Amino acid sequence: MDIKKTIAQMTLQEKASLCSGLNFWYTQPIERLGVESVMLSDGPHGLRKQEESADHLGTNDSIKAVCFPAGCATAASFDRELMYQLGQELGDTCQHEKVSVALGPAVNVKRSPLCGRNFEYYSEDPYLAGEASASYINGVQSKNIGVSIKHFAANNQEHRRMSSDSRVDERTLREIYLLPFEIAVKKSDPWTVMCSYNQINGVFSSDNRELLTDILRKEWGFNGYVMTDWGAMNDRVEGIKAGLDLEMPASGGATDRMIVDAVKAGELDEALVDLAVERMLTINQRYLDNAKPDTVWDMEKQHEIARKMAAECMVLLKNDDGILPLSKTDQVALIGKFAKQPRYQGGGSSHINSFKVTSACDALAGHDNISYSEGYSIQEDVIDEVLLAEAENAARSAKVAVVFAGLPDVIESECYDRKHMSLPNNQVLLIERVAAANPNTVVVLYNGSPIEMPWLPRVKAVLEGYIGGQAVGGATVDVLFGDQNPCGRLPESFPIQLEDNPSFLSFGGEGDNAVYSEGVFVGYRYYDKKKMKVLFPFGFGLSYTNFEYSNLVVSSDSILDTDTITVTVDVKNTGHVAGKEVVQLYVADRESTVFRPIRELKGYEKVWLAPGETKNISFQLSKRSFAYWNVELHDWHVESGVFGIQIGRDSRNIVLEKDITVTSTTSVPKVFTRNSITMDIMQSPKALAALKPMLDGLSQMLSGDAEPKEPTEGAASNEMMQAMLGYLPLRSMASFAGGAISEQQLNDLIQAMNE
């Protein structure tokens, strides 16, 4: 189809009609011009395609599909190939089901462990979230299915999600909340972007021109179409002007009329409507030209892939005395309802109608050495002494007790946030009682976000299974019994208690006012800076084998910020079983005039190593690896100085490091005013030269005479004098001069400084 020609044949009414959906899931067709309708469907970790009654909260049924591990889990894989494969599987599924765009990935940064949708989101680290989503998007789109990366932007809480205003300063927005989107747009060209419900600094995302046009398209080069989240449209006409192309779902024609009226009234340029239509039809056509409805969708095969993936995402948090892996012949008591009925997905729009679910009990069915007891109810958080006593007995009569705990659906879901960071009381008590009955207690967790673990010292092992998808039971068994060596790493810090989290004082906001007062210090950026104890740091995870690092080589120890350098390091598997290590590269700005985190993740690679094997891992670093967002330049900037290149096993365990010097090629232009202080003026040799005569005169005047005297008690010390002069603004210099410097002289001086 020649899209431009087709648009030229459309009436204004027809064009406007294309700017909102046909119904809940389909775009509008125009039959007389051969414009076809295409379907959009959730979601990030499986297909939620609704045939009949539609909704955006996962309440009505969708077709049977495969539920893969959710974002919280797949991010923990730190594995770009896994993300790509997940994308490919989803792409094939969409091709088979004639869905043009899969609504995801959801990449919002995890600001607080309380966000109800954390189970869908990737990480507290924007680089990891961006890299994971880029690989996933490349996977989906390799099948000629589009994605809709969401929710753009600063949508980090569910509380008042359709009205809240995320008040984020410019630097924080760029370095933390926009970065995952930026990486994804630049590395994987998503076909569409979904704007979020919330406002950002007082402007709704749906009509935020700075976000949707200036940053997304002009700066990052996005060339697909932008759709609203379901019901996120604020002002349709302003939306068109801002760069919002498609409103979803259908507006029943109401907003189409607004567009038509605005064009007729001369308030909206019709060319902008044409542009929105063109962008949308271009993407739709990309799908239609490449539709392959005969693509095979083998759900059983995908179930096995989902099992393998879930196992690769699990994070071994504790393993005292090497209690794991368990022996396949030991008496093992599986305790807790989640062993039979796992929490494997979250509530809301990503909810999949799984064609089958495998629990740990299912995966171990038929083994006489395995027992099961329920332990707690997931319907309500009540203490049931009968269930507890049964569990204690089972634990006593087994060699090892494995408690399956986690967050029931009702605690963690789209539309609302968690109220606390604890497990339900009945589960906490169960863990305590079982651990008292059997010292060999292992805890398996199914949750989408960190929890407090007051019971940690009393159990031997903890396996974080996250929200692992429909095959999570088999995957858990694979890891527990050693068929799979755990290789996930935490994509977020686990604070000891909720109050430790940097957003604790302001999360949720006052009314709609959600002030991101912690700034760039999100997650480990805060805990590391504060030298705070955490339960488990960002990037942490154990293995059944050991790894050793050596031979860190940085290709140059002194570079310009425009240079690219290569960093290599050797990693050896020194244990007896094969395993995967996640090699993490952090950059530490050693000296800076702006507040910066101690270190930030700038590279990671996952590597498989046979016992005894060594591999050389390589990273490339460039300007962005060292830069921060400069609010005067409104751009990324590197300050000249020393930077540490650190290889870590997690953000708290740096095993090798080397310092290099980076020299900036950009200077930050300074504008001097009456209020500029001496200390800042001294940074500019030219301005200082202009000021020098006045400064000398003033310093002589203030010290009385030129001869140094013995300091008398209470007299101004040198340090005090220096500080006094250093903080002195130009306007005060003039007034201290007691009339010797006229207003005109001061203005001439400022002008000379700025020349």
- Give least dist CB 279 to ligand BGC, A: 19
183: tokens are 């990486």
Nearer to ligand BGC, 44 or 450 (CB): 44
321 to each of 324, 439, 442, 443, 444, how far by Cα in Å?
Answer: 8, 11, 12, 15, 17
Question: For residue 608, what are the β-bridge partners?
Answer: 580
CA distance 752 to 745: 10
Omega before residue 153 within 30° of 0, cis: yes
CA distance 19 to 7: 13
Report, in angstroms and rounded to the nearest whole number, the Rg of the chain calculated over CA atoms: 30
Nearer to ligand BGC, 56 or 580 (CB): 56
Question: Under rule CB under 6 A, how many of the chain's residues touch ligand BGC?
Answer: 7
* Residue 256, H or E segment: helix 254-264
- Give least dist CB 240 to ligand BGC, A: 21
Report the site for ligand BGC in 66-105 (rule: CB under 6 A): 103
Q: Which 3 state secondary structure label does DSSP give 56?
A: coil
**Cβ contacts of residue 476 below 8 Å, gap of 6+?**
310, 311, 314, 342, 360, 363, 444, 463, 465, 468
Query: According to the binding rule CB under 6 A, does residue 56 interact with ligand BGC?
Result: yes
Query: According to the binding rule CB under 6 A, does residue 150 interact with ligand BGC?
Result: yes
The owner of tokens 């109608």 is: 353
Question: Can you list the alpha helix ranges (DSSP code H) found in 314-461?
Answer: 360-363, 385-396, 425-437
Instruction: State the binding string over 337-366 for ligand BGC (x if CB under 6 A, else -).
Output: ------------x-----------------
Nearer to ligand BGC, 56 or 337 (CB): 56
566 to each of 616, 620, 622, how far by Cα in Å?
Answer: 12, 5, 9
Nearer to ligand BGC, 251 or 630 (CB): 251
- Give least dist CB 483 to ligand BGC, A: 35
- Give least dist CB 348 to ligand BGC, A: 7
Nearer to ligand BGC, 24 or 549 (CB): 24
CA distance 446 to 16: 46
Query: According to the binding rule CB under 6 A, does residue 158 interact with ligand BGC?
Result: no
Nearer to ligand BGC, 117 or 174 (CB): 117
- Give least dist CB 150 to ligand BGC, A: 5
* Residue 337, H or E segment: none
CA distance 358 to 303: 9
Question: Can you list the alpha helix ranges (DSSP code H) found in 397-496?
Answer: 425-437, 472-480
Query: According to the binding rule CB under 6 A, does residue 152 interact with ligand BGC?
Result: no
CA distance 587 to 644: 6
Contact 36, 284 (CB under 8 A): yes
CA distance 372 to 147: 42
Query: According to the binding rule CB under 6 A, does residue 229 interact with ligand BGC?
Result: yes
- Give least dist CB 345 to ligand BGC, A: 14
- Give least dist CB 166 to ligand BGC, A: 15
| Three-point CA angle 587, 592, 593, nearest 5° | 150
Q: Which 3 state secondary structure label does DSSP give 729?
A: strand
Query: According to the binding rule CB under 6 A, does residue 160 interact with ligand BGC?
Result: no
- Give least dist CB 60 to ligand BGC, A: 11
Nearer to ligand BGC, 512 or 680 (CB): 512
Pick from 480, 413, 486, 411: nearest CA to 451? 411
Which residues are known catalytic residues?
Answer: 229
Contact 253, 17 (CB under 8 A): yes
CA distance 377 to 603: 43
Alpha carbon 575 to chain centroid, angstroms: 33
Nearer to ligand BGC, 233 or 443 (CB): 233
31 to each of 19, 38, 99, how far by Cα in Å?
Answer: 16, 13, 19
Query: According to the binding rule CB under 6 A, does residue 230 interact with ligand BGC?
Result: yes
**Cβ contacts of residue 370 below 8 Å, gap of 6+?**
332, 333, 334, 361, 364
Alpha carbon 13 to chain centroid, angstroms: 40
Query: According to the binding rule CB under 6 A, does residue 417 interact with ligand BGC?
Result: no
Instruction: State the binding string over 12-51 for ligand BGC (x if CB under 6 A, else -).
Output: ------------------------------x---------
- Give least dist CB 414 to ligand BGC, A: 6
- Give least dist CB 106 to ligand BGC, A: 6
Report which DSSP code applies to 669: -
The owner of tokens 């271009």 is: 282
Q: Which residues bind ligand BGC (CB under 6 A)?
A: 42, 56, 103, 150, 229-230, 349
